[in-house]
């Protein structure tokens, strides 16, 4: 159980391509949002515009609505939840990157013979995707 926990922890520490991409964008997006919001507050104040409170309010609206928190936090949290759910279901996924790859898979074929879990070589069941009549030809 301890080894399984360690493997799950390692899987959660490995970032997927999407997570790395979001982190790279956040390096530029977050400062840009702060600069735009600060400019909306500072420039009218420096120009001594009459209704400065409206500009402060607009700066706060821009800062809150363009806040990258949802973008930056959603990807790692979704990956963490998926990896945790898989682990509690008895599945060990190496990382979020493999979950992203799985989303593009169209067909899956399983060959579960009990080799890993029981050490026995036997087919437990067989479920074809086509009718048995077509298998005869």
Q: How far apart are CA 60 and CA 55, in angstroms?
A: 9
State yes or no: is 111 an active-site residue.
yes
Burial bucket for residue 11 (CB in 10 Å: 0-12, 13-18, 19+): buried
DSSP calls for the chain: -HHHHHHHHHHHHSPPHHHHHHHHHHHHHHHHHHHHHHHHHHHHHHTT-S-HHHHHHHHHHHHHHT-THHHHHHHHHHHHHHHHHHHHTT---S-HHHHHHHTT---------STTTT----------SS-HHHHT-
Known catalytic residues? 111
């Amino acid at each position: 159980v301890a080894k399984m926990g360690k493997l799950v922890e390692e899987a959660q520490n490995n970032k997927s391509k999407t997570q790395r991409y979001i982190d790279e964008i956040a390096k530029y997006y977050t400062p840009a949002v702060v600069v735009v919001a600060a400019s909306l507050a500072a420039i009218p104040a420096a120009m001594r515009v009459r209704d400065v409170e409206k500009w402060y309010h607009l700066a706060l609206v821009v800062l809150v609505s363009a806040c990258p928190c949802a973008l930056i936090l959603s990807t790692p949290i979704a990956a963490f939840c998926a990896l945790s759910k898989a682990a509690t279901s008895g599945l060990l996924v190496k990382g979020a990157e493999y979950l992203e790859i799985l989303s593009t898979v169209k067909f899956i074929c399983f060959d579960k013979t009990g080799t890993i879990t029981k050490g026995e070589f036997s087919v437990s069941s067989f479920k074809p995707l086509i009718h048995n009549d077509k298998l005869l030809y």
